[in-house]
């Protein structure tokens, strides 16, 4: 058994911590000694309305269990909101060590029926929302030489899910943010990872009924094997580990799905090395298509420069 994972003297911000997955992260971090900013706008699953009651309830729960927490009701969707969330950590606890960028809402539509306001709302809350909080938090982490950030991305964007173009694209964008923040944070002790969670939360219940039907059928087919694994609490341990000093991982994507925890990665095949002096024609691409698509010999890539290094090795080999 590994030694206990503790967050004594650490300050954590969890956005969207008034319910669902975020609530579980905030409760566990606080139970392990962290001082927690419980941020939640307190609106509906689709991001409409606001109230202080969701964040307040989680703060009360943490305090009742002997933990330390303050509520924040700012929206992550604006730059001013992001700054205010980080300010509330500084005001209450004097530093920021951990950020779980988790707040979000859901609106689904087929691409050809996607209204502008849905597209804007999804980009604002998920993609810009993460930037809005991560930028001021990152500055502090860089200064102090320590930080842990987890971005809640989604398989809907990284793998694809019908009707979720706006949500999925915004979520996939978070992997781009994580890739770059983790490289820039590496010399300063700041580690960042992305999460692909799955859990039966309020948001999941608001999915398209057809999608819910397929998920329901899968769950039913699993019977006893499903156990309680669709509960948000099953995602918590992975996130808490990624937020801890014990975690050395950075620049990675992790999935938590029905109690199965796994790293996801981007790899590239050896491909076809074309002519050197004159660019090939589209017909050459067509005739080498099988080599271009071959998975054998694929390697994992950790940055844009990694890909150049691989191609340079291929060109100079033999
Ligand atoms: N549940 C899943 O299966 C699943 C799958 C993939 C990704 N996710 C992501 O995980 C995160 C948590 O989702 P959840 O399932 O717990 O849903 P949830 O709706 O229960 O929780 C999201 C929380 O974010 C809050 N929020 C919404 N807009 C906000 C804003 N502008 N500022 C601050 N808070 C705001 C909501 O009030 C809510 O409490 C989300 O980012 C979601 O996209 C969830």
| Count of C-beta atoms within a 10 Å radius of residue 236 | 22
**pLDDT tens sequence across 18-51:** 999 999 999 999 999 999 999 999 999 999 999 9
**Same domain for 234 and 291:** no
**Same domain for 201 and 76:** yes
Cα–Cα distances (Å) from 2 to 5, 212, 248, 250, 304, in that order, read 8, 38, 14, 20, 35
**Same domain for 100 and 175:** yes
Positions in the chain short of pLDDT 70: 1, 318
Return the ligand 1 atom nearest residue 126 CA.
Answer: 41
| Domain contains 6 | no
Domain that holds residue 290: 267-316
Is 157 a pocket residue for ligand 1 (Cβ < 6 Å)? no
Cα–Cα distances (Å) from 217 to 67, 198, 202, 231, 234, in that order, read 40, 16, 19, 17, 20
**Same domain for 192 and 69:** yes
Return the ligand 1 atom nearest residue 202 CA.
Answer: 20
The pLDDT value given to residue 286: 98
Cα-to-centroid distance, 203 and ligand 1 (Å) = 7
- Count the domains in the chain: 2
The pLDDT value given to residue 110: 96
Is 15 a pocket residue for ligand 1 (Cβ < 6 Å)? yes
Is 24 a pocket residue for ligand 1 (Cβ < 6 Å)? no
**Same domain for 273 and 249:** no
**Same domain for 280 and 196:** no
**pLDDT tens sequence across 130-185:** 999 999 999 999 999 999 999 999 999 999 999 999 999 999 999 999 999 999 99
**Same domain for 199 and 55:** yes
Return the ligand 1 atom nearest residue 125 CA.
Answer: 31
**Same domain for 215 and 110:** yes
| Domain contains 21 | yes
CB 34 within 8 A of CB 17: no
| Count of C-beta atoms within a 10 Å radius of residue 247 | 17
The pLDDT value given to residue 2: 80
Cα–chain center distance at 184 = 18
Residue 23 to residue 10: CA distance in whole angstroms: 18
Question: If you write DSSP's letter for every residue of 204-267 in order, what string do you get?
Answer: HHTS-HHHHHHHHHHHHHHGGGGTTTTSGGGTHHHHHHHTSTT----SEEEEEETTEEEEE--E
Probe ligand 1: pick from 134, 201, 202, max atoms within 8 Å of CB? 201
| Domain contains 174 | yes
The pLDDT value given to residue 318: 67
The helix or strand, by DSSP H or E, that contains position 16, with its residue range, turns out to be: none
- Which residue do the tokens 């003297």 mark? 9
The pLDDT value given to residue 204: 82
Q: What residues contact residue 174 under an 8 Å CB cut-off, 6+ apart?
A: 101, 126, 127, 130, 151, 152, 153, 194
Cα-to-centroid distance, 104 and ligand 1 (Å) = 4
| Domain contains 24 | yes
Cα-to-centroid distance, 167 and ligand 1 (Å) = 11
The pLDDT value given to residue 23: 98
**Same domain for 292 and 200:** no
The CA radius of gyration of the chain, in Å to the nearest whole number, is 21
């Amino acid at each position: 058994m590994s030694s206990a994972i503790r967050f004594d003297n650490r300050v954590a911000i969890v956005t969207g911590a008034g319910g669902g997955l975020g609530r579980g992260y905030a409760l566990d971090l606080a139970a392990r000694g962290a001082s927690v900013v419980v941020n939640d706008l307190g609106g509906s699953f689709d991001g409409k309305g606001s109230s202080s009651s969701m964040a307040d309830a989680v703060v009360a729960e943490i305090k009742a269990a002997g933990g330390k927490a303050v509520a924040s009701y700012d929206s992550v969707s604006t730059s001013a909101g992001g700054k205010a969330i980080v300010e509330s950590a500084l005001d209450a606890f004097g530093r920021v060590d951990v950020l779980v960028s988790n707040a979000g809402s859901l609106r689904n539509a087929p691409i050809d029926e996607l209204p502008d306001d849905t597209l804007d709302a999804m980009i604002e809350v998920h993609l810009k929302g993460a930037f809005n909080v991560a930028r001021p938090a990152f500055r502090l982490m860089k200064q102090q030489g320590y930080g842990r950030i987890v971005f809640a991305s989604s398989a809907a964007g990284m793998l694809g899910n019908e009707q979720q173009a706006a949500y999925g694209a915004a979520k996939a964008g978070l992997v781009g943010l994580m890739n770059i923040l983790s490289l820039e944070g590496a010399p300063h002790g700041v580690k960042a990872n992305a999460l692909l969670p799955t859990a039966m939360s309020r948001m999941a219940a608001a999915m398209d009924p057809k999608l819910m039907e397929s998920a329901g059928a899968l769950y039913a087919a699993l019977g006893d094997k499903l156990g309680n694994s669709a509960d948000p609490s099953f995602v918590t341990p992975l996130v808490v580990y990624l937020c801890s000093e014990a975690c050395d991982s950075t620049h990675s994507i992790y999935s938590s799905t029905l109690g199965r925890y796994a790293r996801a990665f981007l790899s590239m095949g050896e491909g076809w090395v074309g002519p050197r002096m004159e660019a090939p024609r589209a017909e050459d691409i067509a005739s080498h298509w099988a080599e271009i698509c071959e998975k054998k010999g694929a390697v994992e890539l950790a940055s844009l420069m990694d890909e150049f290094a691989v191609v340079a090795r291929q060109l100079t080999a033999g």
